[in-house]
Structure 1
């Protein structure tokens, strides 16, 4: 059975896996850091809403920002994969 403690521990371990990698170009690192900050703000707002320490409006606003950020990251990822596949199709 999954308990809240097990779920929180698994979530905490997964956060390290999605941290921005080292050695990437400056623009990519900055974008990844900004994305991580947006996701961290959602975590803080969600935790605050669950404990009653923050406003529900703040939670909804942070979720909307996170959704936009995630859609942007997914669109960029799709373009990178598409470009990589196009390079693979090039004759040598």
Structure 2
């Protein structure tokens, strides 16, 4: 027989199972990668502005752009893998 005390205890036990906690390591890694990418793009903007004003050498701009290109290629590769995994999930029979 289900009593109110049993129901309250079951609710208390289940509440901890669905409560938000630490994100999964993969989610945390993806979040860190996104923050690093945003920082890299911000660095490109700063260096480009500095080069236009004559405060930073052109060589540093070229180097920063090359680093940004590698970062962009990495982000696109990750995006492609996520889309591919999502499409694979959609193809699974229910």
Q: TM-score, normalised on structure 1?
A: 0.72
5+ residue gaps, structure 2, are: 1-22
2:44 to 39, 42, 45: 42
The aligned counterpart of 1:81 is 83
The answer to whether residue 55 in structure 2 is matched with residue 53 in structure 1 is yes
- Bigger relative contact order (CA 8 A; separation at least 6): 2
**Which of 69, 72, 91 does residue 74 from structure 2 map onto?**
72
Find runs of 4+ consecutive structure 1 residues off by over 4 angstroms.
Answer: none
Q: Give structure 1 stretches of 5+ with no counterpart.
A: 1-22
- Aligned partners of 2:61 and 2:75: how far apart in 1? 21
Instruction: Compare CA radii of gyration and give the structure with the larger one.
Output: 2
When the two chains are superposed, the root-mean-square deviation of aligned CA atoms in Å is 1.4
- Work out the number of aligned pairs and report it: 70
Q: Distance in 1 between matches of 2:50 and 2:32?
A: 27
Measure how far apart 1:28 and its partner are: 1.5
Aligned equivalents of 1:57 and 1:74: distance in 2?
Answer: 26
Looking at structure 2, the residues matched to 74 and 56 of structure 1 have their Cα atoms a distance apart, in angstroms, of 27
Q: TM-score of the superposition, structure 2-length normalised? A: 0.70
